[in-house]
Structure 1
Amino acid sequence: MKRGRLPLTALRTFEAAGRLASFTLAADELAVSQAAVSRQVKELEAELGKPLFERRHRSVRLTPDGQALLDVLSRSFDAMDAGLAEIRGRRGGGVLEISAEPSFAACWLVPHLDDFQSDHPEIDVVVQSDGRLIEFRRHEAEIAIRHGADASAWPRVQAERLAEVEMVPVVMPCLAEDGPPLNAPADLLAYTLLHEENRSAWHRWFAAAGLPDASLGRAQIFTEGNLVLQAALRGHGVALVDRSFAADDIAEGRLVQPFALSIPFGAYWLVARDFKRLSPEARAFRTWLLDRMAAKGGDGV
């Protein structure tokens, strides 16, 4: 097919639908209707004479031909976007956009960002607090900080380990002093426990403490770790949080850690499309962040 006859709109629409595995999400990304996405995909399938998706109840799945086409298109669109960005210099002018997990952004990045900007006053930093997977295309951040078990969680990008996450129990000193004595891990069961997303982390902590069958009583459950930490600082109960997030509050006496026991909880990663092609601003931030983590033994404090 001659390049002048390539169905570029249909290819772009198919690439979004295949990458996101959803016509609805593709419509949101492209700012068109779901019907428009479906129509473009059908026209492309008619042009090729082969189905690209298996249509299921409320879901779609790529066929082998669809997956093969998606692989080619994703690489091509990524390369085009990177080339345009390089020519346009869209991140020039001393502006750096960072996408960070909400908890990391609130509990670590914001408290330490002045250190970076005192070293680089010429760089304006834009922090996007967002946990979703981004593709590092136009109008998205150039570099991201994400939480996960390993680097395989993010396809088609590069990832560097920043810090291991260790979860520890913390509580306000006055709550611990006025409440039931905390002499052994089982004593925490007399308190309201603060959870992130679900009760699984606390179950793991009690299992590590030798109480695998502990019955967790009163609870408050939050969607983000920074909300769990804020609830602990307001005396709502005992929180299980990332040690590095609570380090300043423990050091300054706002929280206490009643027991030394911690449990591993994945790691934070620095993620980018290609570390070799970062802007000067992003390279400076990457160097600062890696140096900061290395200086503290990777604990992020």
Structure 2
Amino acid sequence: MKRGRLPLTALRSFEAAGRLSSFTAAADELRVSQAAISRQIRDLEELIGTALFERHHRSVTLTKRGRSLIEALTPAFDSMDMALEEITARPSRPAVVISAEPAFATCWLGARLSDFQQTYPEIEVTLDSDPHVVDLRTSKAGIAIRNSSGEGVWPGVQSKLLYTASLTPVIAPQLLASGPALAKPEDLLHYPLLHEDHRDDWDRWFKDAGVASQAALRGPVFSDYGIVLQGALAGRGVALADVVLTADEIASGRLVRPFDLTTTCGQYWLVVRSFSRLNASERSFVRWLDAALPQFQAATGPGSAISE
């Protein structure tokens, strides 16, 4: 097809619907009606003489030819978008916008952004603490920090491993002083246990520590790591905490590690649209993070791993 006859509006509608696997989500992203998306894609299919989607009752999936087209279109639209960003007017001051998991943002990054800004005082920083995976194509954020139990692979972006999370029991000194002695891992079962999202992490830690039965597992389940950590600091129970994210509280003596044993649980990843297309401020932040986090980990130490 001649370049001058390319149906760019229809191709944009198809690319959004194919990337998001939803006509409705594509309509929301492009700020048009779902009927407009459906019409554009139908016209495109008639123009090229082949179906691009399989229509189901409440969902759509790409056909083989649809997948082939989306693999060409998404990088092309991304490239055009980034090229336009590069030539548009720059903000009055260099800036970087970071979307980070709430636990990482609150317990580690937020407390150390002053170090970054001492090194780069000219860069304005916006830190968005967001538990949801943001679309870096539409978000103001140019950098995301995410936790994943998998391989850290997300469509349309590039990622780099920051660290593997190591979980260890932590307890407030006042609770430890008023409760039973902790001579061996099973002694923790005499205390209320604080759980994040589910009880699986504690169950795995006990099994890895050689405790045969965890029938006595109890304690509240919270949806947010910060609530779990605050509960531990207040002496309401024992938390299973990320060694890196809890290092400040341990170093200050506000929390105690009764056992030098850890179990791994997921990884933190640095996510960007393209490492080669980061702006100068974003590259400065990535360089700072690449240096600061390993130095901090080396000073902290993960403890003795009991699970790989």
TM-score, structure 2 length as denominator?
0.88
Q: Give 1:252-263 correspondences, 5 Å limit.
A: 252-263=252-263
Shift in CA distance, 80/185, structure 1 to aligned 2, threshold 3 Å: same
> Does the Cα contact within 8 Å between 1:157 and 1:274 map onto a contact in 2?
yes
1:242-266 CA distance string (max 9 Å, x none): 1111111111122112221100123
Paired residue type of 2:69: L
Residue 18 of structure 1 aligns to which amino acid in structure 2?
Answer: G
Q: Find out whether 1:58 has 2:58 as its counterpart.
A: yes
Report the Cα offset of residue 141 of structure 1: 1.4
Q: State whether residues 152 and 269 of structure 2, in contact with CA within 8 Å, keep that contact through their aligned partners in structure 1.
A: no
| Residue correspondence of structure 1 range 8-87 to structure 2 within 5 A | 8-87=8-87
2:306 aligns to what? none
Q: Does 1:218 align with 2:236?
A: no
Do structure 1's residue 142 and structure 2's residue 139 form an aligned pair?
Answer: no
The letter of the residue matching 2:19 is R
**Comparing 253-262 and 1-10, the one that deviates more:** 1-10
Indicate yes or no: 2:293 matched with 1:293.
yes
- Tell me, yes or no, if the aligned pair for 1:161 and 1:268 is still in contact at 8 Å: yes
Deviation at 1:225, TM superposition (A): 2.2
State which drifts further: 190-199 or 93-102. 190-199
Moved more, 106-115 or 184-193: 184-193
**1:134–1:140: 8 Å Cα contact kept in structure 2?**
no
Contact 2:194 2:219 in 1 (8 A): yes
What are the residue-to-residue correspondences of 1:262-281 with 2, within 5 Å? 262-281=262-281
8 A contact 1:163–1:298 mirrored in 2: no
Superposed displacement of residue 64, structure 1: 0.6
Q: Is the 8 A contact 1:163 1:299 kept in 2?
A: no
- Bigger Cα displacement from structure 2, 16-25 vs 202-211: 16-25
Note the C-alpha offset of 1:60. Answer: 2.0
* 1:218-274: CA deviation from partner (whole Å, max 9, x where unpaired): 232223322321232233321112111111111112211222110012322222222
Counterparts of 1:229 and 1:156, CA distance in 2: 34
Distance 2:243 2:15 in 1: 41
How many residue pairs match? The answer is 301
Distance of 2:88 and 2:237 partners within structure 1: 51
Per-residue CA distance 1:84-114 (angstroms, 9 max, x = gap): 1111155673111112112111111101111
Q: What SS class does the counterpart of residue 220 from structure 2 fall into?
A: strand
- Aligned residue identity for 2:148: G
> Where does structure 1 lack aligned partners over 5 or more consecutive residues?
none
TM-score by length of 1: 0.90
CA distance, structure 2, for counterparts of residue 179 and residue 240 of structure 1: 18
**Secondary structure in 1 aligned to 2:266?**
strand
Q: Which runs of 5+ in 2 are unaligned?
A: 302-308
Supply the distance in 2 between the matched residues of 1:180 and 1:57 (Cα, whole angstroms). 59
SS at match of 1:296: helix
Which amino acid letter does the alignment assign opposite residue 182 of structure 2? L
2:102 is aligned to 102
In 2: Cα distance, 1:196 partner to 1:130 partner: 17
Quick one: distance in 2 between partners of 1:46 and 1:281?
A: 45
Output the CA distance in 2 between the equivalents of 1:69 and 1:300: 48
User: What is aligned with 2:238?
Assistant: 238
Q: Is the 8 A contact 1:81 1:138 kept in 2?
A: no
How far does the alpha carbon of each residue in 1:31-71 deviate from its partner, in whole angstroms, 9 at most, with x for none?
33434433333332233332222223432221111111111
Residues 247 and 283 of structure 1: CA distance in aligned 2, closer, same or farther (over 3 Å):
same
Q: Secondary structure at the match of 2:146?
A: strand
CA spacing shift, 1:202–1:97, aligned 2, 3 Å: same
Partner of 1:165: 165
Aligned to 1:154: 154
The aligned counterpart of 1:176 is 176
Provide closer, same or farther for how the CA distance between residues 80 and 247 of structure 1 changes in structure 2, counting only shifts above 3 A: same
